[in-house]
Amino acid sequence: MLSVDQPYEIVIGLEVHVQLRTTTKLFCRCATQFGAPPNTNVCPVCLGMPGALPVINEHAVQLALQTGLALGSTIPPMTKWDRKQYFYPDLPKGYQISQFDLPICDGGHLTIADPADESQTRTIRLIRAHLEEDAGKSMHDEANGRADSRIDLNRCGTPLLEIVSQPDMRSAAEAKAFLTELKLLLTYLDVSDCEMQEGSLRVDANVNLKIEKAGDTIATPIVEIKNMNSFRAVERAIAHEAQRQYHEWEETGLTIKDRTKRTFGWDDAAERTVPQREKEEAADYRYLPDPDLLPICLSVETVEATRVALAEFPAVARQRLQSDYEIKAYDADVIVNQGRGVVEYFEAVAKGSGDARRASSWIQQDVLRTMKEQGKGIADFAVSADTLAELLGQVSAGKLDNARARDVFQHLLEKRGSVAEAIKALGIESVDAGEIESLCQELLDANPQVVEDVRGGKMQAIGSLIGQAKKKNPNVNPKQFREICLQLIQSAG
Amino acid sequence: MTIPLDSAAKLLGLLASGELTARQATQASLDRIAATDPEVGAFTFVNTEAALAAADSIDQRRRDGQPLGALAGVPIAVKDVLCTTDMPTTCSSRMLEKHMSPYDATVVARLRAADAVIVGKTNMDEFAMGASTETSAFGKTTNPWNPSLTPGGSSGGAAACVAAGDVPLSLGSDTGGSIRQPAAFCGITGLKPTYGRVSRYGLIAFASSLDQVGPMAFDAVDCATLLNAIAGVDASDSTSLPVETPDFTAGLDRIEGELRIGIVKHHLEAEGLDPEVRQAVDDAIEVFRDAGAKIVEVELPHSDYWVPTYYVIAPSEASSNLSRYDGAHYGHRSPVAASEAGDRGPLVATYCRSRGEAFGAEVKRRIMIGMYALSAGYGDKYYVKALQVRRLIRQDFDSAFQNVDLLLGPVTPTPPFAMGEKIDDPLQMYLCDLFTVGANLAGIPALSMPGGLTSNNLPIGIQLQAPPLQEAKLLQAAAAFQRATDWHTKRPL
């Protein structure tokens, strides 16, 4: 993606830490619940008290396995636990139990829409995904010249799956597309709630540039931007870091060969990446196999049974909605990207109303808009799929026009209840053909110019009468009104 | 009545018949401790009131006809490496000088469930690192046979308090010989069970893949009774073995079938093996031959690598296990650190100062060895290589046990040595483990029993080793030996 504005290519690899949706921690039975008072969801095991020993939470292993299978990873027959040693105040054991050389998921890939050309896809390869325990949280209070640090160890031992990509992404938009699709997949699988504001999904980005100069390709030193917890932050941090690296290279000329990887943070307020304290020496984690935990051997039967039981992936859902419901790729995409709840809602409405396209268009416009306005999820949506299906069924059958259907929908949103109740409450009655005919005649008589225009071929002239007709009788079906008017003009002609 | 504090079996008989109350037994133990401990120094903590209260509760329940545990009313001492809620758990280290564990070790909970009366915690080498109990931060324990000699280590206090007649039973822990070597030095019987036979939950880790809790007593029968109380799978320890726990006291009056005893000639000809120890081993061989055992020569080709392999693996795991003592969460925090933070910042100063102040020389030495052996560039050369050799060592035992039921040999190269004799020569101290570390590296059970006295009237131990989970066989053979000899009845003058 070289251009005059951007005389370089960005190379991005992501490390995504996903909190798995278990009720208890990875190596003890403490709750993983977010927002508990500090240091209340803790026990000797997650506090690293002398003598305490870890015991694996098998649910976490199962969720990691599901994720790996969905990402096309190879699941090795044996996976083990290692200790990663470093001193940090929110790491009570002085080591983190993680996986070093035998991760639970090896390789894999994720296919995303190419942000530069939506009709194309890009496949981002994965290196691995491994399980590990989270550390605690340090809170630094440096107000009033004091330097208090408080440590909350509630998060210690929370199960994380770290998904590591190859450096296959070439723009901030691609990184964002990767994260969006990954989050969608994880929520489809129900392996994580991906609540980024609660830290359930955190991202580190490894970024450097390839600069073309005089027929040579120069790579800039790699920077790891740590711990971003919004997609917007990731996108902006990468964009900023690319600029920063380019300017730095212009100034210093340093390449990847001259400098080891550095760690930066993202300052959201200042909108810039900032270097974090450089380590005096390269980190030496002194990995060793954790002697307190046995290796996990996953049988072929377990892996296959998990594969068979996997929930539908978003990519599969997109294809299926197109073929089963004959809706456009774009529409399928919008629905699927809203998550599994919206897909299920759509399918119920499509089947119940017998009109998938109408269901698709109503959901994309009315339902999603309302959800956004109300800030609610589909699970809390006031109009159930069955109710909406009934309403749209009546529209398709010609019993209600779209405008009246929207009135009913609005009524249902506010008052709930059934479609029949809403119709009754709004005073909607079906108008018989004779009544409409006399109304048509009356208006045509009063508007000879319209009759003239229609005869001259300007069919849309009737539109101006529809408004008047609705004023006189709100229950008039505009489509029916229009047809009868045309018949009257023709027969009079 | 003389209260027989040298036999749990006799005590249990008297308690059951009502000739003795638990309070009387406990008071006798406490009185004996008061008399001997000023010189022996076996205890780091004596829990007088709680022990008497526990005894009273047992007596009350006996009077009420309620069911009682298998050790009801028997005084017992517990090595200070095991977590207890009602006594400090210090590992004989300044680091944990005031540490009160929030939970009981599984073995301690099992002792309480068996209604044993825990009278106190016993002295040890700091963090179980040593072979003389001289590295304790809280003073030395002397050998009850001669106060100028060490009781061995690291379970020196646990061995000495039995030898001194304070309690009939104690619990020790054995990482490289820490039950067997002090048992040999103090003239008692000690058993290191199969790795995983007894839960490690609440045993403060030294080297997790080698540590094992085990019983110490005057004879094999009492060891069996104590092993019954503590053995068995524990859901809190992933490495505890999911196997049935047999009644180890059953069938101790006979040896089932032909007993084939293996002798490792290489060990009997080892440089530095004291002639009197050698003689005791030869005598023990004759005792078994007279009892009808078949004596077979076997080879353990990799036994020259036991000590070097052990002294890579044990310090590596120790350096990891001890990294949790960082001055942040529990244990010693340097009061000086904050004031002298300097360039390193208060955090690093706290780590360095706290660990520097609270760990003793031997602990520091092993942390340094372990850090080095695991560090980048050396991990493969030392740690991974040691793991490979460890596998060969296990294979040696497997092959040997194809032809024999048990192995017989010395426990220690020498009889008890003098205080200060080896403390400044770590390599000499490490060689005390010459014959014992093999069992820890292979995970097999091994027992030490009194097998003679030197010309200076000092105990000599005989070691028996068995295939995994064959503790019953070890105890049977030891009980047979103790019927044929009276070494286990010898007491310090």
Looking at the predicted structure, is the pLDDT value of residue A446 above 60?
Answer: yes
CATH code, domain carrying B226:
3.90.1300.10
Average pLDDT on A93-105 reads 97
With pLDDT > 90 as the criterion, what percentage of chain A qualifies? Answer: 71
Quick check: A55 and B105 CB within 8 A? no
Residue range of the domain that includes B98? 1-492
Burial A429-467 (b: 16+ CB within 10 A, else e): eebeeeebbebbeebbeebeebbebbeeeeeebbeebbe
Task: Compare CB distances from A284 to B83, B208, B376 and report the shortest one's residue.
Answer: B376
Instruction: Determine contact, residues B183/B191, Cβ cutoff 8 Å.
Output: no
Q: Which of A19-28, A49-58, A453-462 has the lowest mean pLDDT?
A: A453-462
Concerning whether B154 is annotated as a catalytic residue, the answer is yes
Single-letter amino acid code for the residue at A375: G
Instruction: Determine contact, residues B479/B460, Cβ cutoff 8 Å.
Output: no
Residues of A in contact with B207 (CB under 8 A): 291
Better pLDDT: A48 or A434: A48
Quick check: A55 and B383 CB within 8 A? no
B462: phi then psi, degrees, rounded to nearest 5:
-115, 135
Residues of A in contact with B83 (CB under 8 A): 50-51
Q: How many C-beta atoms surround the C-beta of residue B49 within 10 A?
A: 9
3-state secondary structure chain B: CCCCCCCHHHHHHHHHHCCCCHHHHHHHHHHHHHHHHHHHCCEEEECHHHHHHHHHHHHHHHHCCCCCCCCCCCEEEEECCECCCCCCCCCCCHHHCCCCCCCCCHHHHHHHHCCCEEEEEECCCHHHCCCCCCCCCCCCCCECCECCECCCCCCHHHHHHHHCCCCCEEEEECCCCCCHHHHHHHCCEEEECCCCCECCCCECCCCCCCCCEEEEECCHHHHHHHHHHHECCCCCCCCCCCCCCCCCCCCCCCCCCCCEEEEEHHHHCCCCCCHHHHHHHHHHHHHHHHCCCEEEEECCCCHHHHHHHHHHHHHHHHHHHHHHCCCCCCCCCCCCHHHHCHHHHHHHHHHHHHHHHHCCHHHHHHHHHHHHHHCCCCHHHHHHHHHHHHHHHHHHHHHHHHHCCEEEEECCCCCCCECCCCCCCHHHHHHHHCCCHHHHHHCCCEEEEEEEECCCCCEEEEEEECCCCCHHHHHHHHHHHHHHCCHHHCCCC
Residues of A in contact with B349 (CB under 8 A): none
Task: Compare CB distances from B101 to A50, A54, A292 and report the shortest one's residue.
Answer: A50
Q: Which of residues 73-102 of B touch A (CB under 8 A)?
A: 82-83, 89, 91, 96, 99, 101-102
Contacts of B458 (CB under 8 A, 6+ apart): B145, B146, B149, B415, B416
Quick check: B317 and A94 CB within 8 A? no
Residue in B with minimal Cα distance to A291? B209
d(CA B289, CA B261): 9
3-state helix, strand, coil in chain A (%, to 5): 45, 20, 35
Average pLDDT on B235-254 reads 96
Instruction: Determine contact, residues A430/A401, Cβ cutoff 8 Å.
Output: no
Asked if the C-beta of B104 comes within 8 angstroms of chain A's C-beta atoms, the answer is no
Task: Check residue A143 and give its pLDDT.
Answer: 63
Pairs from A359-365 (Cβ < 8 Å, separation ≥ 24): A359/A325, A359/A388, A359/A389, A359/A392, A360/A325, A360/A327, A360/A331, A360/A335, A361/A331, A362/A388, A362/A392, A363/A335, A364/A331, A364/A334, A364/A335
d(CA B431, CA B415): 13
Band of pLDDT at residue A470, cut at 50, 70 and 90: confident
Q: What tokens does A479 get? A: 């489509």
Quick check: B323 and A54 CB within 8 A? no
With pLDDT > 70 as the criterion, what percentage of chain B qualifies? Answer: 100
Instruction: Determine contact, residues A183/A201, Cβ cutoff 8 Å.
Output: yes
d(CA A134, CA B397): 40
Question: Which element (helix H / strand E) includes A207?
Answer: strand A201-213
List, as one string, the DSSP characters of A358-413. HHHHHIIIIIHHHHHHHT--GGG-SS-HHHHHHHHHHHHTTSS-HHHHHHHHHHHH
Residues of A in contact with B322 (CB under 8 A): 94
Q: What is the pLDDT of residues B91-117, one digit of tens each?
A: 999 999 999 999 999 999 999 999 999
A474: phi then psi, degrees, rounded to nearest 5:
-60, -20
Looking at the predicted structure, is the pLDDT value of residue B347 above 90?
Answer: no
Quick check: A94 and B200 CB within 8 A? no
Better pLDDT: A440 or B42: B42
Q: What is the pLDDT of residues A127-161, one digit of tens each?
A: 999 999 999 998 887 666 666 788 999 999 999 99
Q: Which of residues 333-352 of B touch A (CB under 8 A)?
A: 346-347, 351
Better pLDDT: A277 or A181: A181
Task: Check residue B403 and give its pLDDT.
Answer: 96
The overall average pLDDT reported for chain A is 91
Task: Check residue A447 and give its pLDDT.
Answer: 85
Q: Which of A293-302, A418-427, B42-51 has the lowest mean pLDDT?
A: A418-427
Residue in A with minimal Cα distance to B370? A286
Looking at the predicted structure, is the pLDDT value of residue A286 above 80?
Answer: yes
**How many beta-carbon pairs below 8 A join chains A and B?**
103
Task: Check residue B261 and give its pLDDT.
Answer: 98
Looking at the predicted structure, is the pLDDT value of residue A475 above 80?
Answer: no
d(CA B151, CA B133): 7
Task: Check residue A306 and give its pLDDT.
Answer: 97
**Cα distances (angstroms) measured from residue A172 to each of A242, A266, A271, B325:** 9, 14, 15, 42
B119: phi then psi, degrees, rounded to nearest 5:
-85, -20
Average pLDDT on B455-477 reads 98
Residues of B in contact with A83 (CB under 8 A): 320
Task: Check residue A280 and give its pLDDT.
Answer: 47
Average pLDDT on B304-328 reads 97
Q: What is the pLDDT of residues A353-406, one digit of tens each?
A: 999 999 999 999 999 999 999 998 999 999 999 999 999 999 998 888 888 899
Residues of B in contact with A50 (CB under 8 A): 83, 89, 91, 96, 99, 101, 204-205, 324, 330-331
Looking at the predicted structure, is the pLDDT value of residue A493 above 70?
Answer: no
**DSSP, res A466:** H
Task: Check residue A409 and give its pLDDT.
Answer: 95
**Cα distances (angstroms) measured from residue B413 to each of A324, B185, B209, B276, B458:** 81, 11, 25, 10, 14
Instruction: Determine contact, residues B78/B178, Cβ cutoff 8 Å.
Output: no
Quick check: B103 and A49 CB within 8 A? yes
- How far apart are the two ends of chain A, measured CA to CA in Å? 65
Quick check: B329 and A47 CB within 8 A? yes
Quick check: B319 and A44 CB within 8 A? no
What are the start-end ranges of the H helices in A286-384? 300-309, 314-325, 329-337, 340-353, 356-362, 368-374
List, as one string, the DSSP characters of A409-464. HHHHHHH-S-HHHHHHHTT--PPPHHHHHHHHHHHHHH-HHHHHHHHTT-GGGGHH
Quick check: A292 and B323 CB within 8 A? no
Region of residue A457 (phi > 0: left; psi between -120 and 50: alpha; otherwise: beta): left
Asked if the C-beta of B58 comes within 8 angstroms of chain A's C-beta atoms, the answer is no
Number of alpha carbons in the 13 Å side-chain half-sphere of residue A133: 36
Range from A207-216, A463-472, B233-242 that averages highest in pLDDT: B233-242
Single-letter amino acid code for the residue at B32: R
Looking at the predicted structure, is the pLDDT value of residue B211 above 70?
Answer: yes
Residues of B in contact with A284 (CB under 8 A): 375-376
Complex confidence, ipTM: 0.96
Looking at the predicted structure, is the pLDDT value of residue A1 above 80?
Answer: no
Q: What is the pLDDT of residues B358-398, one digit of tens each?
A: 999 999 999 999 999 999 989 889 999 999 999 999 999 99
Residue in A with minimal Cα distance to B234? A55
Count of all residues that appear for chain B in the document: 493
Dmax (CA) of chain A = 100
Task: Compare CB distances from A291 to B99, B209, B346 and report the shortest one's residue.
Answer: B209
Cis peptide leading into residue B154 (ω within 30°): yes
Q: What is the pLDDT of residues B399-411, one digit of tens each?
A: 999 999 999 999 9
Q: How many C-beta atoms surround the C-beta of residue B71 within 10 A?
A: 28
Sign of CA dihedral B388, B391, B397, B399: negative
Task: Compare CB distances from A44 to B102, B323, B326 and report the shortest one's residue.
Answer: B102
Q: How far is CA A236 from the centre of its chain?
A: 18
Quick check: A51 and B202 CB within 8 A? yes
Rounded to 10 deg, the angle between the B275-290 and B471-484 helix axes is: 90
Quick check: A292 and B330 CB within 8 A? no
Bridge-based pairing of strands B169-173 and B75-79 is parallel
Instruction: Determine contact, residues B75/B114, Cβ cutoff 8 Å.
Output: no
Task: Check residue A491 and give its pLDDT.
Answer: 79
Rounded to 10 deg, the angle between the A478-492 and A463-472 helix axes is: 120
Concerning whether B316 is annotated as a catalytic residue, the answer is no
Strand-pair partners of A272: A267
Residues of B in contact with A47 (CB under 8 A): 329
Looking at the predicted structure, is the pLDDT value of residue B190 above 60?
Answer: yes
Contacts of A426 (CB under 8 A, 6+ apart): A404, A407, A408, A411
Total domain count, chain B: 1
Task: Check residue A400 and give its pLDDT.
Answer: 85
Q: What is the pLDDT of residues A61-72, one digit of tens each?
A: 999 999 999 999
Nearest to A362, CA basis, from A402, A323, A398: A402
